Every structure is written in C-alpha cells, then in structure tokens.
Structure 1
Amino acid sequence: MASLRCFLRSGKNAVSAVLRREFHRTPPAAVQVTVRDALNQAMDEELERDERVFLLGEEVAQYDGAYKISRGLWKKYGDKRIIDTPITEMGFAGIAVGAAMAGLRPICEFMTFNFSMQAIDQVINSAAKTYYMSAGLQPIPIVFRGPNGASAGVAAQHSQCFAAWYSHCPGLKVVSPWSAEDAKGLLKSAIRDDNPVVFLENELMYGVPFEMSEEAQSKDFIIPIGKAKIERQGNHVTLVSHSRMVSLCLDAAAVLAKEGIECEVINMRTIRPLDAEAIETSIMKTNHLITVEGGWPQFGVGAEILGRIMEGPAFNYLDAPAVRVTGVDIPMPYAKILEDNSIPQIKDIIFSVKKTLNV
C-alpha cells in the first residue's frame, strides 16, 4: 500500500512538473524576415495551397527572379507553375488575364511597374473592367506585382510611382505594403481575391529585415485588403504614408519625440480601397494631418486623402491646413544629389510637422 502511494505521488509530481513547464514556457520568439523572403513565403504557401495558382514573368523561373523574390519556386513547382516569359509585357499580361478568365489564379510579375505601361490596356481594359461588365459573372483573380516607385540611381524611366495611376481606376484593388508582415499577409489575400489586384512593392525594401510574429509565420496568416495600421501612437499630428515612406515617417517621429512632439504614424497598406475611417479617427485625436508619399504631387495619393478629409467629418477637427509631402514634380534625375532632393527625406517630414504645429 505504501509503495502504491509512493508511485501515485511520484506520478502526480511528474504531471505537476510538466504543467509547470508548459505554463512557464517562453513563447516562440519572433524571427527576423526580409520583405523579399516574406513575399517568397507568401507565393510558396499559396502555390502549395491552390493548384490553380501560378507565377509568370521575365526571369521568374530558372534565374529565381530579377530580385530573387521567386527563389527556389521553379525547382519546387516546375515549368507549368513557374513560367519564364519573353520580354513582352503586353503579351504575358494578356496571357495571365486570359488564364484568370479561364479559372486559374495567375501572379503576373513586372520587372518594374514602369514596364507595366506596356501592358496598360490588359491591366485596365481587360482585367479591371471585366468583372463589372459581366455583371459579376466573370471574376478576374489575378495579381500584378513587382517593384514600384523610386529605387536608387535608375533615373526617370525606372522610378515612377504608380499608386495614384492604378488607384484612379475602378475595378482594381491597389496594395502597397511596407513591412515583411504586410508583404506576406497582403500578398496571400491578393492571390485569394477574385478581383484583379495591383501589388506595389519597393525595390529598396526587399532586403530590409522586419520582426515577424509567430502568428505571421503561420500558413493561415492573411491581412485583409483595405485596412490601414497604426504603426506608432501619437497625439500631436497624424502622418499618413505607404510603402517605404512609412520608414521615413517612423524615423522622423523618433527624432520629433525627443523634442516632445508625438506623431501618430499610419501605414496605409492599401491605396484602393482607402481606409479613410482610420485616418479620420486619428485626425479627431491629433487635429493635424500630413501625408507623405514618394510619388508626384499632382493628383497624387495625398491629394486624394486631403480631398476625402475636406469632404468628411474630420475636417472640422483640423487646427491647421492639411499638408502633403511628396516627390518633386519632375522626372527623376540620375545624379544622386539631385535624386535625393527629388524624393522626401526625413528632414522634409520634420520641417512640415514643425511648420504645421507652428513650433
């Protein structure tokens, strides 16, 4: 009997020890993932999940992609799922749109969105308008993705931001991620969407590492299209931006915080549909608005945001005129010193904040 009690006690102690270990177990640490690898993960997971998904574009297969976004995918999925195309954007974009009409879910990579102008008829007239013109009977589940906006030292024909261009067109969804989690979660949502999605990446962000949460490492992780994210809380001024400009806004906010100015930084993540509610809610708290973008000022993303705020309930909460920080209204110069003065810098954001707050 004593030996039985001893056995039961030892078993109870063992169970207690296991429970204590489980209770006190340190949660898995977030890992550092580059935007490049996050995009690769998203495509890999969706290619594996849905056999209708395939990738096509210039050098996406055997060369692993011009920016190595598709690294390893051709070896894993083969020629039928990862397809190298000739240098003809109108041709392979048209093939992709036709494939989407036939029930597949293509990912169409442009080596740069500047080259998507070669395929503008396919993107707008064929992809964007068909779902509507078919009264909803013909979905177009296609993603057009690739680097957008200014890189470094590539001059005017490789530096244009198309966020405003494509956001102007009904029928398209336009996504512009910043972080690795943005890139992965939004690309997976874009691939699963029945609408054509223009997915605007940034070449200078590809190699930037971000902390990726345990949740984001899951194959089920998605970010809904159309929802902005507050990257930094603040109560003096609202900074609204997308893509690489979010980094500059956060850097500017860190500098201004040392002077007692707290900026609320909003990462738009999606340009169309635009999360105006998130911006309005922030303005009602901070009473000031500054938009920051790398694109040109005329008819730009910031212009649309300011127009929405002017027409909406948040206008009455502004204590000063809303301000835009944008690229300069010229084709991008090649010389580095001119290039630096053609796109927003941290000092430009700080200057605009202080001017808006009159400090």
Structure 2
Amino acid sequence: MPVITYREALNEVLHSEMARDPGVFVCGEDVSGGAGGTSGEREASGGIFGVTAGLLPKFGEDRVIDTPISENTIVGLAVGASLAGKRGVAEIMFADFLGLALDQTMNQAAKFRYMSGGRATCPVVIRVPYGAGMNMAAQHSQTMYQIITSVPGLKVAMPSNPADAKGLLTTAIRDDDPVVFFEHKAMYGRKGEVPEGDHAVPFGQAALLNEGDDVTIIAMGRMVTFAEKALPGLAEAGISCDLLDLRTISPLDEDAILDSVEKTGRVVIVDECPPRCSVASDIAGFIASHGFSSLKAPVQQVTAPHAPVPFSKGLERAYVPGPAHIDTAVRTVAAYR
C-alpha cells in the first residue's frame, strides 16, 4: 500500500468522489485558493491546510465554491443544496467557528429527516479542523466535537490515521445523513499506509489497535496516537492493554466498548476535550450504567483541564493530554486488584 499523509488521503477522496458523483461539491473560505500575484488567477492551493488543493482546475467554480467569511452561509449553502439532491462538502476553517453555523447545523440539517418522517434526507458533510498543539491560541484550538456529538441527528467522525481519514470521509460523503467530520490540525502531515482504490470504513465500528488483558484504553482522534506511544512503556512494566480507536463517536461502538471492559475490568478514556460534559464523561457514564459489574477499578478520564487552550507553547504542551498522562492513568487503574 502507498504511504501518504493524512492531508493527501482526504484530498484523494475529494478528487475521487467528485469524479464519481457529479452531485458532490465543496464550499468554504479559500477552498479554491486566493488570487495569485498580479495575474489575478486562482492559486488552487486548497485553503490554509491544503486539503482541497487541485480541485478548482479539475471541477471548476460551480463545484469548488469560494464563499464569504460567513460560516452560517457556508453550511446553509451546503445544507440547502443537499436537500435539493446534491451532496455538499462544507469546510469550516476552524472548529471554533462552528458556533456561527449552529443554527444551520443543529436546528436544520440534524432535524430534516426526523421532521419529514423520513421523506427528506440531507447528505451533507461539514469538514472541521480541530484541536490544540499548533500554538494557535484559545480561539483557534478548541475541540468542539463534544458539543456536536450531543445533537441528535448528526453523525460525528474522527479519523486518527491516513487510512481511516480516507475510509471515513468516503463513507461520510456517501451517507444520506449529515456528518460532521473532525480532522485534527496537528495530524495533517502524519504519514501512513492507505489502501488504493475505493476504500470505505463503516461508521459505528471501533478499531482494536492493540490487545491486552489488564486495562482498556479508549481514545479518539489525535489521542489515539498518544495512547499508542504510551503502550511500549506500559508493556515493559508488565501491563497489557486493549486500545480502542473509536473512529466515530456518533454512532458509538457500544458493543466493542463493553466487550473490552468485560475482559479487562479497568478503563482509561483519553479525550482532548475539557472534562465537563466531555465525550470521556459520556462514555464513563455509559460504562457505569451498562458495564458496572465488570469493573475492577474506577474509570479514569484523561482530558484537557477545564480551561481555555493557552497560547504559550510550554503551557499548551502541558494542556494537551499526552503519553505521560495516559501512562499514569493506566498504572493507577492497573494497581487495583
């Protein structure tokens, strides 16, 4: 399999899905690139993260639509067109700006199928770069997926590697329901093997990346990478771990979670959100309600602190849950006998 970056995997899907289905289009700020130099021609650079690079010359301005700086307009355009038979892929430049599009996202897109009795579908994808780790300060580094996950009617995908970035985005674009697709900014350059050709990863199926008998580690997005980095040190200490990559948090693979908890009896949930009303707290509550009899230790939650993301590089490194935090939490629950 070829080795490509997370960014390249996403870009590959946009090219292939737009070629496969003429109803697929993208819209957002600078998705076709700004004007180049004095010529006035579009650069087709694909926005600040380069994910939509090369789409403009291939598919034209009718399908690669640069929008005003208005998130409500971007999502509204994609949602309205998707109701009319298209498949819109809207890009929000930073997850922090989702608040400006919440009405179109949670009051409109999320509700159409339910309120029409299943007669209307809204096959829209909202792509959202999220997360800390790039020194972008408190207004450009938030997670936001915990808020979106709480909305019924929305599906939420969070790929942790290039292969899943390709597979999950393919599934998202082909899905008849609205999907909010969270891409971690610090992972765009991460490389990995990616299957060639058509590759779709089903929603609601977590990936078991490591098998062990002592502790279950549940992680999502970039936190999966940090959990993987913690595993060798834990293995040296004689602690073997199941590592579950959730891949989607709505739908949530509840069966995979409960199966692993039943086997190990000890759980660490790793989540970049602040702790209050986080995905980690939601999953911890689910385990307490449905898997309590399997637990041998209190569920540990490894999250960011309940504070805005710092701008200082040193403080930001301390803010983001990392391998050392995960190691400590795993050793804590492993000590219960």
Which residue in the other structure is 1:239 paired with?
Answer: 217
Whether 2:127 is the aligned partner of 1:145: answer: yes
Which structure would you say has the larger Rg? 1
Which residue in the other structure is 2:14 paired with?
Answer: 43
How many angstroms does 1:155 deviate by? Answer: 0.9
SS in 2 for 1:80: coil
Whether 2:316 is the aligned partner of 1:339: answer: yes
Deviations 1:153-207 (A, max 9, x none): 1111011111210110001001111011110010010001111000001010000
- 2:8 and 2:264 map into 1 onto residues whose CA distance is 36
Deviations 1:116-164 (A, max 9, x none): 2111111111111111111111100000002112142111101111121
Which residue in the other structure is 1:300 paired with?
Answer: 278
Whether 2:231 is the aligned partner of 1:249: answer: no
Deviations 1:225-253 (A, max 9, x none): 11100111111101001000000001001
How many angstroms does 1:40 deviate by? Answer: 0.6
Q: 1:124 aligns with which of 92, 106, 115?
A: 106
TM-score of the aligned structures, taking structure 1 as reference length: 0.89
Which residue in the other structure is 1:12 paired with?
Answer: none
Q: 1:322 aligns with which of 282, 296, 299?
A: 299
Post-superposition, which runs of at least 4 consecutive aligned residues in structure 1 deviate over 6 A?
none
Q: What code does the residue aligned with 2:296 have?
A: D
SS in 1 for 2:319: coil
Structure 1 unmatched runs, 5+ = 1-29
Q: What code does the residue aligned with 2:207 have?
A: K
TM-score of the aligned structures, taking structure 2 as reference length: 0.94
Aligned residues: 325
After the TM superposition, which residues 190-229 of structure 1 pair with which residues of structure 2 at under 5 Å, given as runs? 190-212=172-194, 216-219=195-198, 221-229=199-207
Q: What code does the residue aligned with 1:289 have?
A: V
- 2:160 and 2:180 map into 1 onto residues whose CA distance is 15
SS in 1 for 2:128: strand
- 2:74 and 2:296 map into 1 onto residues whose CA distance is 50
Which residue in the other structure is 2:153 paired with?
Answer: 171
Aligned Cα root-mean-square deviation (Å): 1.0
Deviations 1:1-56 (A, max 9, x none): xxxxxxxxxxxxxxxxxxxxxxxxxxxxx221110011011111110111100001
How many angstroms does 1:302 deviate by? Answer: 0.7
Whether 2:55 is the aligned partner of 1:73: answer: yes
SS in 2 for 1:210: strand
Q: Which has the higher helix share?
A: 1
After the TM superposition, which residues 78-89 of structure 1 pair with which residues of structure 2 at under 5 Å, given as runs? 78-89=60-71
SS in 1 for 2:68: coil
- 1:94 and 1:358 map into 2 onto residues whose CA distance is 51
Answer whether contact 1:151 1:202 (CA < 8 A) is retained.
no
Which residue in the other structure is 2:250 paired with?
Answer: 272
Answer whether contact 2:213 2:263 (CA < 8 A) is retained.
yes
Q: What code does the residue aligned with 1:324 have?
A: Q
Deviations 1:47-98 (A, max 9, x none): 0111100001011113322101111111111111111111111112111111
Whether 2:324 is the aligned partner of 1:353: answer: no
Identity score, percent: 40
Whether 2:85 is the aligned partner of 1:96: answer: no
Worse-superposed segment, 57-66 or 35-44: 57-66
Which residue in the other structure is 1:55 paired with?
Answer: 26
Which residue in the other structure is 1:9 paired with?
Answer: none
- 1:235 and 1:157 map into 2 onto residues whose CA distance is 41
Structure 2 unmatched runs, 5+ = 33-43
